[in-house]
A and B are shown apart, each in its own frame.
Chain A
């Protein structure tokens, strides 16, 4: 039973470019969460999605960031016109419908030059 998968594991972008991070939840999980981890700050919630719906995006910056979880395919976190402050580890987590036990992927480490 494969766990949560994220790709790429490492992503390097120059300022102004776009970053696209992918997350495939565990089999049978229809709820996806994105978190960002900065050194010394811990994991911070960004957005919560179900298939084709954004449930809670209160932790996501209103500009340059967007997320989707289409009917088919992985969830995507997109960061447009990246800046150095976007450098961080981005984690995706998924859960089943009835329990809030969230299982995390290995993360994507974004470095903005």
Chain B
């Protein structure tokens, strides 16, 4: 069983379009991180959200953490080919100060065509 479910699994769009990807769980997380991974490389941290309802912006990327800290979304405005990659969400279990393992979703593979 996957603790974090990401959707859609694949997304193929044209340059300039907007998109949203989702990360859902029935579990509560103390924090949630978004990564982007390119072929042959390790995941690169994009953002960490900690507070329920929190919204963070990184240029054209907007990240939101659900009020109940069970889900998150990533919205990209005016997508560019350089946004192509595998987007992963990862949650830190709600166990106080354990600060341990991350639980990963399977990712959304985004392809942006010029």
Contacts and interface: CB of A to CB of B under 8 A. Distances in A.
Interface of A: 4, 6, 31, 33, 35, 40-45, 48, 55-56, 59, 91, 93, 95, 99-107, 109
Contacts of A48: 100-101
A107 B41 contact: yes
Interface string B72-114: 0000000000000000101010000001111111110000000
Contacts of A55: 100
Given A41-B106, A42-B105, A100 B43 contact: no
Main secondary structure of the interface of B (DSSP, over half): strand
Contacts of A100: 30-31, 48, 92, 99-100, 102
Chain B residues touching A, range: 20 to 34
Interface of A is mostly: strand
B101 A101 contact: no
Interface of B: 2, 30-31, 33, 35, 40-45, 48, 88, 90, 92, 99-107
A91 B30 CA distance: 23
Given A101-B45, A102-B45, A107-B42, A43 B101 contact: no
Given A33-B101, A42-B105, A43-B104, A102 B33 contact: yes
Which 5 pairs across A and B sit closest by C-beta, in order of nearness? A104-B42, A45-B101, A42-B106, A43-B104, A100-B99
Nearest to B106: A42
Contact of A56 (B40, B48, B100): B100
26 contacts: A31-B99, A33-B101, A33-B102, A35-B104, A40-B106, A42-B88, A42-B104, A42-B105, A43-B88, A43-B102, A43-B104, A44-B104, A45-B102, A48-B101, A56-B101, A99-B48, A99-B99, A100-B92, A100-B102, A101-B33, A102-B33, A102-B45, A102-B102, A104-B44, A107-B42, A109-B40
Nearest to A103: B45
